[in-house]
Amino acid sequence: MAVVEVNNLVKSYGPLEAVKGITFSINRGEIFGLIGPNGAGKTTTLRVLSTLLKISSGSIKIMDYDLEKEPDEVRKIISYLPEDAGAYKNLSGRRYLEFIANFFQEKNTQQMISRGMEIANLGERIDDKVDTYSKGMMRKLLVGRALMTEPKLAILDEPTSGLDVNNAQEIRRLVKSTARAGTTVLLSSHNMLEVEFMCDRIALISNGIIVEEGTPRDLMEKYNAKNIEEVFTKVVR
């Protein structure tokens, strides 16, 4: 069953058409990766799907909801991790997760907070103020925040950006196990190893258009490439 159906999506900023009519769908529990050069339209696509930007034309369905007509319903079932997100600097990591969890009163907030802390895996530093965190610690806290709510759809803009190798691997494993537990994931990344390891399917977006789509294996076969980086350089010249 498709959790996400994007149909001929166009998004313009004034005269600039950043996304020029893209179509894709994502099935339940799939990890779907958007890759592409700088300025290709990845963040724009993710921001539209998270209801933060208005659609210029086309349509998006998330589960049974039409994103334009029922954005509030969509917001209840998604979670968005922006590329450049921050947290409230005066709160400790734990207080920040508690603060966010309290928005989800119908759910078991204590369990949600524990899950967030487990994902963030900050040890004792979870009780330090967020403004003392390194970039990687902040990212881990935010990934914890995004996944603790067990959203139907997690939209992750470069989830491991700024993380060292060990932390990035830990986050990748977590995202994978979250998907196995039923969360559908849409992510963007510049790390080709990451998308090869994590994604069930990849869409390569260039200049606002999806120019290739498929499983990592199919794409590597099609381009006779050793890895996704090679596919990328062959497709995007």
Q: Which residues bind ligand ATP (CB under 6 A)?
A: 13, 16, 18, 36, 38-44
Instruction: Between 2 and 53, name the residue whose CB sits nearer to ligand ATP.
Output: 53
Smallest gap, in angstroms, from Cβ of residue 223 to ligand ATP? 21
Residue 17 Cβ, how far from ligand ATP at the closest point, in Å?
9
Nearer to ligand ATP, 107 or 135 (CB): 135
Answer for the pair 50, 78: CB distance below 8 angstroms, yes or no.
yes
Q: Which is nearer to ligand ATP, 11 or 152 (CB)?
A: 11
C-alpha 69/C-alpha 62 separation (Å) is 11
Shortest distance in whole angstroms from residue 124 CB to ligand ATP: 34
Is the Cβ of residue 130 or residue 202 nearer to ligand ATP in the bound state? 202
Task: Supply the minimum distance, in Å, between the C-beta of residue 48 and ligand ATP.
Answer: 9
User: What is d(CA 126, CA 199) in angstroms, rounded to the nearest whole number?
Assistant: 30
Written as one string, the DSSP assignment of 33-101 is: EEE-STTSSHHHHHHHHTTSS--SEEEEEETTEETTT-HHHHHHHEEEE-TT----TTSBHHHHHHHHH
Provide the 8-state DSSP code for 123.
Answer: G
For the bound state, the minimum distance from the C-beta of residue 98 to ligand ATP, rounded and expressed in Å, comes to: 31
Closer residue to ligand ATP, CB minimum distance, 86 or 182: 86
